[in-house]
Structure 1
Amino acid sequence: MFNSRPIRMSTQSEKADLLKKLHHSGKMLVLPNIWDAAGALLLEKLGYPAVATASAAIARAHGYEDGERIPFDFLLAIVSQIVKSVDLPVTVDIETGYAGDHETLKSNIKKLIAAGVAGINIEDTDVRSRELVPVNEQAEKLKLIGRVAERANTRLFINARTDIFLVKTDLSEEQKLAHAIERGRAYVEAGADGVYPIFATDESTIKTLVGALKVPVNVLARVGAPDLDVLQRLGVARVSFGPNVHRTTLLALESMLGSVKEGLSHRPVTGPLA
């Protein structure tokens, strides 16, 4: 059968503008991260206003480990199909950019924009050493990304992730919070549209970050994090799920297929919802 979906009229920049507006609407943007076009279509069907990918989910769904092990061109092909499948703005987790130098990073950002991507997550951990990149170096990467979009006469929502709460350090929680604010402010000055202090879970910490950064703050939904209604009250603009949707889906699939293997019933697969 022919695809009866309507012709898409929105440009990449229009979708990037919409993604930015969604972060400033006053209603928290909830993004259960997906890894393929089927997941994106499901989010669109359910009425989600945007689509976000998870690097770990995409990698593991295609036989790779997280940490930029999946080839960038393969990732780009997957992302391109996701973008084509929906009318929604798509924001992509690009880890550290899949680039060891600025020229490669520029090339990768150009390809993502050409594919229609409306936004990106980019993190500040070195993919090889697993240590935090110096603030000034990460700020230069963010400035470079902004220049690439500007020279292409497009927009791109840049969600700058800081891993200060994720990496192992000897810092106290108070020191981590101070560093998160310092890095967040530097990233915003360098052109970031939002800040993602991943693994920040304490209510007081999140509230302080929201107040100090003055830009949309992204929180990861995980064990120990406040629930969605609390995050909304704290002023959080965006909630991500990282690889958790993929992990939960695999656990449900394992249970279903395990039941079939034991010969109990085929109905977990062939029931009324199948």
Structure 2
Amino acid sequence: MTTAEHAAELRRLHTAPELLQVVNVWDVVSATAVAALPGTRALATASHSIAATYGYPDGEQIPLDLMLDMVGRIARGVDVPVSADLEAGYGDAGETIRRAIGEGVAGANLEDQLKPLDEAVAAVRAAVAAADAEGVPFALNARTDAFVHGRGRPLEVNVADAIERGRAFLDAGATCVFVPGMFGDDVVAELVAGIGELRVSVIGLPGVPAPARLQELGVARVSYGPTTQRVALGALQDLATSLYDGGVLPEGIRPLN
């Protein structure tokens, strides 16, 4: 499939009645391992995990060229649409999206970092315009950090802020609104009611409703951020500990690389 075809499919998956689950990956081998599963319809990269792979902290500390090189390798290494976590756009959301499309990326997360609303909306508009100029129906998952950077504020303030920003991002052309945070059914229902059914994306965390419930609540997408890499690294540490303690490699290791 072409990048435009992958992007159209990714947008369709966001608006389909069935919840879109995307398991986050960080390099080509993690991507191909997950893409091989029958349940995989699309993949998402995790910026935190890719930065950690190269030895950088999260938060646009990794050089953009390195980030784009990796997401491009991932996109070219699998046969499903790839949504890239491109943080806040690395200083130029439009140009970053344009370059990501050139790497074969079909969609992206773009976070607002709780910047003034007009600045955040301008970044979304720039990203959408860049994709339109490339002729790609890009699936932009516009992220609001109302909860991530709004810690300490009353819950109702964060909910109202997320809804206001989410509506503005959709009006600016975003496909979906990503509202990461640790909250339950009631907040998810408020966000869906305020932003729109099949327009809200959340992150799977302990305490967040299970996928089946998220689908019942009208959520479009759930992803898992850097947690997937942490699980893999935890398994590696556990294996190393077992070997150091005199253990042996377990039976049934799958040759996934």
TM range (shorter): over 0.9
**RMSD over aligned Cα atoms:** 1.3
Query: Is the CA contact 1:143–1:190 (under 8 Å) kept in the aligned structure 2?
Result: yes
Mapped partners of 1:92, 1:39: distance in 2:
14
Would you say 1:272 and 2:255 are equivalent positions?
Answer: no
Mapped partners of 1:272, 1:73: distance in 2:
38
Would you say 1:137 and 2:128 are equivalent positions?
Answer: no
Mapped partners of 2:151, 2:50: distance in 1:
28
Which residue pairs with 2:135 in the alignment? 153
Structure 2: segments with no counterpart, 5+ residues: none
Which residue pairs with 1:262 in the alignment? 245
**Per-residue deviation at 1:216?**
2.0
Mapped partners of 1:197, 1:106: distance in 2:
21
Mapped partners of 1:199, 1:253: distance in 2:
28
Query: Is the CA contact 1:36–1:58 (under 8 Å) kept in the aligned structure 2?
Result: yes
Mapped partners of 1:107, 1:186: distance in 2:
21
Q: Counterpart of 2:36 in structure 1: which amino acid? A: K
Query: Is the CA contact 1:200–1:219 (under 8 Å) kept in the aligned structure 2?
Result: no
Would you say 1:122 and 2:103 are equivalent positions?
Answer: no
Query: Is the CA contact 2:182–2:206 (under 8 Å) kept in the aligned structure 1?
Result: no
Which residue pairs with 1:35 in the alignment? 26
Would you say 1:111 and 2:118 are equivalent positions?
Answer: no
Q: Counterpart of 2:52 in structure 1: which amino acid? A: R
Mapped partners of 1:41, 1:254: distance in 2:
22
Which residue pairs with 2:50 in the alignment? 58
Q: What TM-score does the superposition give when structure 2 sets the normalisation length?
A: 0.94
What is the number of equivalent residue pairs in this alignment?
252
Mapped partners of 1:216, 1:149: distance in 2:
19
Mapped partners of 2:253, 2:118: distance in 1:
52
Mapped partners of 1:84, 1:142: distance in 2:
25
Would you say 1:177 and 2:159 are equivalent positions?
Answer: yes
Structure 1: segments with no counterpart, 5+ residues: 1-9, 126-131
Mapped partners of 1:93, 1:105: distance in 2:
12
Structure number with bigger Rg: 1
Deviation beyond 3 Å, 4+ runs, structure 1: none
**Per-residue deviation at 1:203?**
0.8
Would you say 1:247 and 2:230 are equivalent positions?
Answer: yes
Which of 182, 198, 220 in structure 1 is aligned with 2:180? 198
Which of 82, 85, 101 in structure 2 is aligned with 1:90? 82
